[in-house]
């Protein structure tokens, strides 16, 4: 059964002992705290420098489901309000372009995560993409295409 690989991290027998010891030491502080402590112990960071604590919680749940570790009960309800939030519909001028594409201003791709344009991007994806918008977990970068003739940006 061991080793197993979850989220590109291979867990062996010695890791299980270390994980369970960390869980036991911080039992009362909850799973989120435990995952952050493990990330610090492993020096496990995203390219942005943030801890990979969501990935670590996935590892913890996988190990628990396989009966390899025990975890404290969740401190909070698992209802993620961010995931289930309403996305406001932002109206966009949908007038067809009159000039050929080669005569349009250049298209620019910009990072919108954490900017005022993020809600505009989320709305476009939610209402225009066939899969809609869902908050994603893991290594990703929210970016949007900047069309100079759209004035919201």
Residues 143 and 83 in one domain: yes
68-83 confidence digits (pLDDT tens): 999 999 887 766 555 5
Cis link prior to 44 (omega < 30° from 0)?
A: no
Q: Are residues 61 and 85 in the same domain?
A: no
The answer on 95 and 41 residing in a single domain is no
Please give the pLDDT value at position 153.
44
72, part of any domain = no
116: pLDDT strictly greater than 60: yes
Specify whether 105 is located in the same domain as 146: yes
Q: Looking at the structure, tell me whether residues 37 and 60 fall in a common domain.
A: yes
From 31, 65, 99, the end of a domain falls on: 65
Contact criterion met (CB below 8 Å) for 36 and 53 = yes
In a shared domain, residues 102 and 151? yes
My answer on whether 60 and 106 are in the same domain is no
Mean local confidence (pLDDT), 1-15: 87
| ω into 25 cis (within 30 of 0) | no
Please check whether residue 20 is in contact with residue 63, taking contact to mean a CB–CB distance below 8 angstroms: no
Q: Does the residue 73 lie in any domain?
A: no
Domain count, the chain: 2
Q: What is the pLDDT of residues 47-61, one digit of tens each?
A: 889 999 999 999 999
Question: Whole-prediction pTM value?
Answer: 0.54
Largest CA distance in the chain: 66
Considering the domain boundaries, does residue 70 fall inside one?
A: no
Query: Is position 104 within any domain?
Result: yes
- Helix axes 53-65 and 13-25, enclosed angle (nearest 10): 110
Domain holding 98, by residue range, is: 79-153
pLDDT digits (tens, 9 = 90+) for 132-146: 777 665 555 555 555
């Amino acid at each position: 059964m061991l080793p197993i690989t979850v989220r590109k991290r291979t867990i062996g027998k010695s890791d299980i002992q270390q994980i369970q010891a960390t869980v036991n030491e911080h039992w009362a502080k909850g799973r989120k705290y435990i995952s952050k402590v493990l990330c610090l112990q492993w020096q496990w960071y995203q390219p942005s420098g943030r801890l990979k604590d969501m990935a670590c919680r996935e590892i913890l749940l996988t190990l628990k489901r396989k009966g390899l570790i025990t975890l404290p009960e969740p401190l909070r309800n698992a209802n993620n309000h961010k995931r289930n939030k309403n996305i406001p519909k932002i109206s966009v001028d949908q007038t067809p372009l009159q000039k050929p594409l080669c005569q349009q201003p250049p298209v620019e791709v910009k990072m919108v995560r954490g900017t005022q344009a993020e809600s505009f991007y989320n709305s476009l994806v939610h209402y225009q993409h066939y899969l809609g918008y869902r908050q994603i977990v893991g290594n990703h970068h929210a970016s949007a295409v900047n069309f100079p003739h759209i004035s919201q940006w």
